[in-house]
Amino acid sequence: MSIVIDNEKRVFTLRTKNTTYQMMADELGGLVHLYYGSAVDGCAMDHLVQRYSMSFAPCPTDIGMLRNYSFDYLPLEYSSWGSGDYRTTAVKVTFPDGSNALDLRYDSHKTFKGKTPLAGLPAVYADEDEAETLEITLKDRFSEVYVVLSYCVLPEFDAIARSVKVINRTGAELVVNSALSAMADFRSDEYDLLTFGGRWARERNMERIPVHNGKIAVESRRGASSHHQNPFIVLCDKTATEDQGCCYGLSFIYSGSFTAFAETDQMDQTRLAIGLNPDNFNWKLDDGETFQTPEAVFVCGTEGFGSMSRNFHKLYREHLCRGKYKHARRPILINNWEATYFKFDEEKLFRIAEQAQKLGVEMLVMDDGWFGKRENDHSGLGDWFVNEQKLKGGLNPLVERINSIGMKFGIWFEPEMISEDSDLYRAHPDWCLHMPGREPLRSRIQLTLDMSRADVRDYLYERLYSILSSANIAYVKWDMNRSMAVVYSMLLPAEKQGEVYHRYILGLYELLERIESAFPDVLFEGCSGGGGRFDPGMLYYHPQIWCSDDSDAIERLEIQYGTSFCYPVSTMGAHVSAVPNHQTGRVTPLNTRGVVAMSGTFGYEMDLGKMTEEEKEEVKVQIETFKKYYDLISYGDYYRLSNPAENHRYTAWEFVSEDKKRALLNYVSVLPQANPAPRIIKLRGLDPDTCYEVEGLKLTGAALMQGGILMPVMSGDHQALQMEIRAL
Ligand code: GLA
């Protein structure tokens, strides 16, 4: 049983394979956090709660004239504004008279097997035998506002999926000013925090910082999860490493603005929380209505970051990604973006496809530029009609030609955007996000469509449906190339303008659901100027996301390393591109570009026809190698063996099959040294007693993990190799 309830003490214990999470409704009904960490079965940890009579701590009147109870310092599960808790609170509402305090107390609870979906929102899914859910209802002491905390325990993954409902039964309307999805107060400040910030083409750089007095917040206000911060943070023991120590990953299944923070308090406790960014968020809740937050997922790694990441990978791969391509092998693709940019016609595309097909590539993806008046990025967005000057005769003849050489065909869209120089804008200037009486802010010379509007979504659905059903299209790249600014919807009344950021995302999810269920065989890849919306919300709709517009193999080492803390390799879009690389100017060997792109969805983004015969032969071998290792890479356990941000000399990582019979070591010697010292890589995740063969050597798993393997000396910059390890 994963949920154990001590009704007498009102202690709720959530148990996963290796962890325990515990909370208690105390005698006043305050929901107090007791414990989170390695499994501690059979004990109520209420002895850890200390009461103080503390100066400046507000006490509720139901404690009588005593002074030793205050939400100012108690470790809480979900704290409310106006309750006497001065830390950052998780929920705030405003009543019609302008008052805005809530004093949330335990009201009731229920448990059930399995997990209920979240209406209109992406979420982890599980069968009745895979999960158990506890719902604790809190009620405001002075009004009929209810807050339902949902904890879905997924024992196999050491995961707890949380979300919150705010219910208004007050008889009047109120405004939800903030409602985070998960919060917990840890009983110490002896922690570090991992964050994953960056910028365009430099996404998800892992940074480790000590939590300190005050608050460390990572946030997006861009209307997208963003390149700049990822909705994922990890609190960890100061001693935690890849394979030791406890860490707590908190991931938000959402694609818009968010906040995530670690805040230490006066009693040296650490509050960890994640949810919708409360900036510019105000949700009007009529009597009888419920506001449902998006879902957040806690995974506790009891054996270091690696154990946490592998659980996130399995959970998101198996219980978040959906559809045909959750398990079907994805086609190896060639994308024309870096090969042609906007300058192509059907002949040029066909030549790229034909050449690639000879080498084993399975799908051509036609990127930006095929529609409307789209010669560059100044115009055309919104006009999703084939540009027949570029593609003579329309889409179908090209697709049929590509299909006739045995290749699939994929296409690029950027549905959420509009160019001012487009027929769509000329017809519907009010369809973009902008404020009355103000000029909008341009970014990449484009504006954002108001996805909260049903008419906008209907137009996009009709256009996407028409294009996708006009030819045999196997793949869609769904792009989004700017951050929102000046966010206002012309259709909503003044008091609902604080809902637009969230309504945009709900509208986007609705459109994705509609179009993807109409085309269940189409593979969708998410993209936002690379990895600007690389988040679990998007993974619910797209099983893969273009990881970064930076396709340089050496830069990708760090980007893919950071991404791997939360996201499975099977979700990371990665391609071999031309050298000198278009983003950095760096020249890397073709083999290295292949090794790095193989730790992702794998494909090419260049004109293979421009390669030498020798290089073409190498591409053929790369494709066969990727196919050979596909299952190991896509479904195997992932081990980070070095941190490329700290170690500039080499990077190593490994995949191990679930049965531990096969492994693949990947190694990039980033910078060579004169007279190099021996470089030994210690493998991980093998069975210590099994005998393995690697490069002609026969060694036990113990020898390979404790002793390691000696890497050959490789001369020249940026060399790479792969080694297969097989059980004998
Ligand atoms: C974004 C994407 C690229 C490419 C261009 C096209 O930047 O990340 O891969 O599709 O848009 O404009």
Measured distance CA(596)–CA(618) in Å, rounded: 15
Q: Cα torsion for 376, 377, 380, 382, to the nearest 10°?
A: 150
Beta carbon of 527 within 6 Å of any ligand 1 atom = yes
Q: What CATH number is given to the structural domain containing 682?
A: 2.60.40.1180
pTM comes to 0.98
Residue 143 identity: S
User: Which pLDDT score, from 0 to 100, does residue 437 have?
Assistant: 95
Cα of 527 to ligand 1 centre, how many Å?
A: 8
Domains in the chain, number: 3
User: Which pLDDT score, from 0 to 100, does residue 42 have?
Assistant: 81
Cα of 209 to ligand 1 centre, how many Å?
A: 33
Distances (CA, A) of 588 to 441, 551, 618, 716: 39, 11, 14, 10
Beta carbon of 481 within 6 Å of any ligand 1 atom = yes
Q: Same domain for 660 and 593?
A: no
Q: Same domain for 409 and 281?
A: no
Q: Same domain for 382 and 442?
A: yes
Which atom of ligand 1 lies at the shortest distance from residue 549's CA?
A: 8
Beta carbon of 73 within 6 Å of any ligand 1 atom = no
Backbone angles phi and psi of 470, in degrees to 5: -85, -10
Measured distance CA(84)–CA(264) in Å, rounded: 16
615 catalytic residue (yes or no): yes
Q: Of 301, 319, 337, which marks where a domain is finished?
A: 319
Check residue 63 and give left, alpha or beta (phi > 0: left; psi -120 to 50: alpha): alpha
Cα of 715 to ligand 1 centre, how many Å?
A: 35
Ligand 1 probe mutation, 336, 549, 575, most atoms within 8 A of CB: 549
Closest CA to 704 of 721, 686, 722, 720: 686
Q: Same domain for 169 and 269?
A: yes
Q: Which residue's alpha carbon is nearest to atom 11 within ligand 1?
A: 529
Q: Same domain for 299 and 164?
A: yes
- Determine if the peptide bond prior to 580 is cis (ω within 30°): yes
Q: Cα torsion for 629, 633, 637, 640, to the nearest 10°?
A: 110
User: Which pLDDT score, from 0 to 100, does residue 433 have?
Assistant: 98
Beta carbon of 530 within 6 Å of any ligand 1 atom = yes
Q: Same domain for 606 and 649?
A: no
Measured distance CA(666)–CA(642) in Å, rounded: 11
Tokens of 394: 């329309």
Tokens of 67: 């002074």
Cα of 412 to ligand 1 centre, how many Å?
A: 9
Q: Same domain for 18 and 90?
A: yes
Q: Residue 635: enclosing H or E segment and its boundaries? A: helix 613-635
pLDDT below 50 — which residues of the chain? Answer: none
Q: Residue 240: enclosing H or E segment and its boundaries? A: none
- Residue that the structure tokens 């690029």 belong to: 412
Ligand 1 probe mutation, 200, 411, 479, most atoms within 8 A of CB: 479
CA 311 from chain centre, in angstroms, equals 14
Which DSSP symbol is given to 329? P
Q: Which residue's alpha carbon is nearest to atom 8 within ligand 1?
A: 529
Contact call for residues 578 and 643 (beta carbons, < 8 A): no
Measured distance CA(574)–CA(599) in Å, rounded: 8
Q: Of 617, 636, 655, which marks where a domain is finished?
A: 636
Q: Of 253, 288, 319, which marks where a domain is finished?
A: 319
Cα of 417 to ligand 1 centre, how many Å?
A: 13
| Burial degree of 377 (CB within 10 A; 0-12, 13-18, 19+) | middle
Which DSSP symbol is given to 117? P
Measured distance CA(197)–CA(4) in Å, rounded: 38
Tokens of 246: 């406890």
Domain containing 711 equals: 640-727
Q: Same domain for 340 and 297?
A: no
Q: Which residue's alpha carbon is nearest to atom 7 within ligand 1?
A: 529
Beta carbon of 368 within 6 Å of any ligand 1 atom = yes
Q: Strands across the sheet with 333-335, in order?
A: 572-573, 544-546, 523-526, 475-478, 408-413, 363-366, 333-335, 603-605, 576-577
Beta carbon of 340 within 6 Å of any ligand 1 atom = no
| E strand spans, 302-424 | 333-335, 363-366, 408-413, 417-418
Backbone angles phi and psi of 301, in degrees to 5: -95, 115
Measured distance CA(62)–CA(47) in Å, rounded: 22
Closest CA to 174 of 144, 150, 148, 149: 144
Q: Same domain for 224 and 142?
A: yes
- Give the list of residues 6+ apart from residue 615 with CB closer than 8 angstroms, or none: 590
Task: Select which of 268, 615, 617, 624 is catalytic.
Answer: 615
Q: Which residue's alpha carbon is nearest to atom 6 within ligand 1?
A: 368
347 catalytic residue (yes or no): no
Contact call for residues 292 and 146 (beta carbons, < 8 A): no
Q: What CATH number is given to the structural domain containing 361?
A: 3.20.20.70
